[in-house]
């Protein structure tokens, strides 16, 4: 997908170039009627040229080389209650055979140590590079989708307990303007007169 010039956040390329590969991610979050949350992610790789493939015969330009999806079902504490991983397209016939291993993530909480936990359960030959990459990236969409839960829990945060978001990124620095406004009791930046 090519963005209109007005939406391009990057500067114009300095030299001519040829577009060869596109990777797309798509994420969506859903609040379920049973109180749980579904976070769905999809990764699609396409090439701008066709090429032979031992498993599929020939992959035409624009057809997916990889097309894989994951659905996480989470509780309000970000603990995985269920997971479904699917490989609709891959470069090898054996690719879909690894998806049952993703059941190893049931019971794991998205939070500190998430990347290490995913890699320990699904790293190397125990997983699929593309599905693992997708799963790792799903943590942020989960937090975004479940913002109402996090916001309510933050509102009930015990006095004196640091907010979970504090120092989690540049914007939430304890020395910055966001902390000064949202959590003045934890603001450590310089006071201006």
Query: Residue 2, exposed/middle/buried by CB under 10 A (0-12, 13-18, 19+)?
Result: exposed
pLDDT exceeds cutoff 80 at 184: yes
> What pLDDT was estimated at residue 161?
82
At 166, the pLDDT band (50, 70, 90 cuts) reads confident
What's the sign of the alpha-carbon dihedral 139, 105, 121, 96? negative
pLDDT exceeds cutoff 70 at 170: yes
pLDDT tens track for 87-113 = 999 999 999 999 999 999 999 999 999
> What pLDDT was estimated at residue 183?
86
> Is the full-model pTM beyond 0.85?
no
pLDDT exceeds cutoff 70 at 1: no
DSSP 8-class letter at 174: T
Tokens of 5: 């010039």
Tokens of 74: 């989470």
Strands 21-31 and 37-47, by their bridges, are antiparallel
CB 65 within 8 A of CB 89: yes
pLDDT tens track for 107-153 = 999 999 999 999 999 999 999 999 999 999 999 999 999 987 776 66
Backbone φ and ψ of 130, nearest 5°:
-75, -45
Give, for 10, the enclosing helix (H) or strand (E). Answer: none
Tokens of 18: 């040829």
Q: Torsion-angle region of residue 129: left (phi > 0), alpha (psi -120 to 50) or beta?
A: alpha
At 2, the pLDDT band (50, 70, 90 cuts) reads low
Mention every residue, 6+ apart, whose C-beta is less than 8 A from residue 101. 121, 122, 126, 127
> What pLDDT was estimated at residue 30?
97
pLDDT exceeds cutoff 80 at 158: no
């Amino acid at each position: 997908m090519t963005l209109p010039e007005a939406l391009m956040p990057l500067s114009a390329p300095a030299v001519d170039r040829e577009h060869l590969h596109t990777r797309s991610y798509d994420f969506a979050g859903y609040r379920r009627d049973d109180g749980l949350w579904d976070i769905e992610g999809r990764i699609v790789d396409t090439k701008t040229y066709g090429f032979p493939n031992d498993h599929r015969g020939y992959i035409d330009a624009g057809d997916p080389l990889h097309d894989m999806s994951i659905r996480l079902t989470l509780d309000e504490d970000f603990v995985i209650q269920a997971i479904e991983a699917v490989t609709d397209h891959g470069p090898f016939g054996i690719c879909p055979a690894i998806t049952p291993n993703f059941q190893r993530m049931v019971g794991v909480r998205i939070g500190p140590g998430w990347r290490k936990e995913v890699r320990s359960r699904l790293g190397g030959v125990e997983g699929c590079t593309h599905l693992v990459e997708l799963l790792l990236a799903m943590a942020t969409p989960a937090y975004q989708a479940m913002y109402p839960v996090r916001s309510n829990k933050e509102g009930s945060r015990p006095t004196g307990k640091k907010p979970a978001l504090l120092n989690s990124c540049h914007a939430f620095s304890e020395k910055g303007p966001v902390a000064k406004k949202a959590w003045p009791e934890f603001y450590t930046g310089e006071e201006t007169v």
